[in-house]
Amino acid sequence: MCSQFLHSSCPRRTLADAPGGFTLVVTGPLGGGSTNVGRAGPAGGVDVISGVTTDSRKTLLVGRNRELARIEAAAREGRPVLVRGRAGGGVTSVLREVSRRLGVAGRSPATGAGSPWVPEEAPEQVLADAGGLLPPSIRRGNNLVVDDADRCTPEELQRLADVARLSGVSLVLGAHEDVPLVSEDPAATVLDLPGLGRDAVAHMASAALGEALEPGGGPVSCLHRASVGNPGRLAALLDLPEIEPLVHLAKEVPDPATLAPAFAAVLESAVMARVDRLSPDGRTALAVVLVAGPHAPLALVISAVGRDGLDEAIACGLLHVEPGQVPELKHGAVGRLLAHRLPWQLRAEAERRLGVAAERAGVALAPGPSTLPA
């Protein structure tokens, strides 16, 4: 029986809505086996990617051993799991590690459909059945891991839950908001990721800066306050060269608390200073990258801003680049900052350029929920 994955009555998304979708991972049988890693976009299908095992960026797992053990145990028992946390709180990193522990092996991925950018003549796509969302190899003993589950529609969530139940696979969801379908299930394990304590902040900071910092010391106190215990924001702070002089100063001043405002302001000031140094074309390119999202066709973004503008935006140090893919912000905290700080005129110009390039290329943005950083 055919069933519609995206209702055809959904309004066409505007370019103000950044494209995205939820990340879907099917791990092999517990203890090893084949792996499929994919991003299921609003257009349906699975676009298989390698980010779970080959991402070179640091995972933010400090202080998460207890949560990881609970998730792994529940998944192995076949119970549904919901991992909730604030944006930047480490939900994605936890799911990546859970996927690895449950059997993800780093093998070359296949490719498929799933980008929210679809051909203009077919912007609304349907799936013949729920199985169309998942690789055909899914079977009992697999694990279905879905990140950004709060971006799914209720219909998509129900479909995933049905497939998990009928296929006998374990369902693990990550979200920044509640997912009642799982949280209200008496058999489910629901975890809310807490903020990092000072011990975890000291561990992350020591590793990033290459020096031992005490949990009770001034630098860690300032970093803990500036990051509010958010591992994503802390990682963004520690990635800035501007943080090192502040850390050294916090060791020397009699009252490190007086430096708390400087620590709190350094992320925004450093990021916006890099943006201000860009030429108009470079700033527009950065805005286009933010609006287009990492799953837009690379040729579309280059058509919108030109190679020189994109190269300048990359050189500013805020973007992570993989060969053949659209650059994306290194840190979600930076993306959320830029989403609120970039002038609306710049955003409008980015949307206009993307619209012209999309029309020229014959692609459109499929309907679906916005994924601009909140």
Count of domains forming the chain: 3
Do 286 and 270 lie in one domain? The reply is no
- The answer to whether residues 372 and 21 touch, using CB atoms and an 8 Å cutoff, is no
- Please give the torsion angle defined by the CA atoms of residues 229, 231, 237 and 240, in that order, rounded to the nearest 10 degrees: 160
Higher pLDDT, 292 or 240: 240
Ranked by mean pLDDT, the top range of 19-23, 163-167, 268-272, 333-337 is 268-272
- Least confident residue range of 13-17, 148-152, 268-272: 13-17
What CA–CA distance (Å, rounded) separates 309 from 53?
Answer: 31
Q: Please count the other Cβ atoms lying within 10 Å of the Cβ belonging to residue 169.
A: 22
Q: Tell which of 274, 293, 316 closes a domain.
A: 274
B/e letters for 175-197, b = 16+ CB within 10 Å, e = fewer, are bbeebebbeebeebbbbebebbe
Nearest alpha carbon to residue 175 among 153, 156, 149: 149
pLDDT tens per residue, range 330-358: 888 998 899 899 999 999 999 999 989 98
Would you state the pLDDT for residue 128? 31
Q: Which residues pair with 320 in a beta bridge?
A: 328
Residue 210 and residue 113 in one domain: no
Grouping H, G, I as helix, E, B as strand and the rest as coil, residue 148 is coil
On whether residue 6 sits in a domain, the answer given is no
Whether 289 and 356 share a structural domain = yes
pLDDT interval class at 142 (50, 70, 90): low
Q: Residue 24 — φ and ψ, nearest 5°?
A: -125, 130
Structure token pair of residue 106: 């780093």
Mean pLDDT of 171-183: 87
Q: What CATH number does residue 340 fall under?
A: 1.10.10
Residue listed under structure tokens 């306050």? 225
Q: Is residue 4 part of a domain?
A: no
- Domain end residue (candidates: 192, 209, 238): 192
Q: Give mean pLDDT, residues 300-315.
A: 93
Confidence of residue 67 (pLDDT cuts 50, 70, 90): confident
DSSP classification of residue 132: G
Please indicate, yes or no, whether residues 209 and 334 belong to a single structural domain of this protein. Answer: no
Asked if residue 371 is part of any domain, the answer here is: no
* 336 occurs within a structural domain: yes
Give how far Cα 332 sits from Cα of 88, 339, 356, Å. 6, 10, 27
> 365 or 321: which carries more pLDDT confidence?
321
Token pair in block for residue 104? 């993800």
Q: Which SS3 state, helix, strand or coil, does residue 49 take?
A: coil
- pLDDT at residue 16, rounded to an integer: 35
H runs (alpha helix) in the chain? 51-54, 65-76, 91-101, 154-167, 180-183, 198-209, 218-227, 231-238, 243-252, 260-276, 280-292, 298-305, 307-315, 332-341, 344-361
* Per-residue confidence band for 365, with pLDDT thresholds at 50, 70 and 90: low
pLDDT tens per residue across span 224-269? 999 999 998 999 999 999 999 999 999 999 899 899 999 999 999 9
Q: If we measure between CA atoms, which residue out of 317, 300, 315 comes closest to residue 351?
A: 300
Round to whole Å and give the CA distance between 138 and 141: 9
The whole-chain average pLDDT of the chain stands at 73
- Which of 129-133, 146-150, 224-228 has the largest mean confidence? 224-228
User: What is the pLDDT at residue 124?
Assistant: 37
pLDDT tens, 82-100?
Answer: 999 888 888 888 888 887 7
> Does residue 140 have a pLDDT over 80?
no
Confidence of residue 283 (pLDDT cuts 50, 70, 90): very high
How far apart, in whole angstroms, are the C-alpha atoms of residue 40 and residue 20?
9
Does 250 or 58 have the greater pLDDT score? Answer: 250
Percentage of residues of the chain with pLDDT beyond 70 = 70
Are residues 222 and 205 part of one domain? yes
Residue from 130, 171, 188 nearest 27 by CA: 171
Domain assignment present for residue 7? The answer is: no
